[in-house]
Structure 1
């Protein structure tokens, strides 16, 4: 597996780019709400395109899932850089952690499907893991240097804490956010 499908790397006409983006948005929503039960047909319908258009952009369900996951991880990496550049250190850490929790909570089913299909040591999984660790390290180290976060934890600890919170089975409404706040209280100096 070498990253995005070849079709995802070619320049696109404006209408093709709109269709591509609409498919990614529809896939994100379908994977979030229906998990592995989401069908390619309903994703195409949600994007307002035919199934042939979906297959032109993404020849397989796995190709679509890979691009969705990779783009979401890259968006989080961008969010980390922007937060560090634009916010006070603690706010950057808290904001990014909140975004990360939202992505993990909504993507755990798709991640399990991807890891099963491509392997936990695949290029995609390794790239995403390394990108997330770098992003977590950026916001955490920034907060530690400012003296607002404990210096006895590292990015791996932060990612595992978030992972354990979002994997709580059958959480009550609001429970994930409350546990995240408690976790951040434990990280704060």
Structure 2
């Protein structure tokens, strides 16, 4: 089973800054382990990088119960849908689309199986990766109303940015690091 340690080894030398940034995320102690690994897992799922998802899920399983792992994945999947829909509604010029009901099932947002602020933070990170301004605003406002401070919100955005950069670095063609000969 792959782990985040294996991911470090896959990050090519041209992306050393990415490797250092990933190290800082894993070492972050400002967030609870569940919040931290949930951010990593939801963000990895949003990148659609199966290698990265598997590695993070492997490590997350040591600090998160199965329900929390499922919730992080649910945040990524429901936000993938919401981000497309609400980005369209926000960007389209025709005003009638803004008044139409979305008719999208998203029951998990009301009962995610984890603390609601964790789920919202994970959803924010996914929305940042997917580039939905309307969803970013909605999640940020919900988090602030729940008492989550701007430092934690900023950290979630950093997690999203760095996780996305890791996914790109390990999947860039011809970027495999040379392996030591033994």
TM-score interval for Structure 1 and Structure 2 normalised by the shorter chain: 0.3 to 0.5
Q: Which has the higher contact order (CA 8 A, sep 6+)?
A: 2
Q: Higher helix fraction: Structure 1 or Structure 2?
A: 1
TM-score by length of 2: 0.33
Structure of larger gyration radius: 1
TM-score by length of 1: 0.32
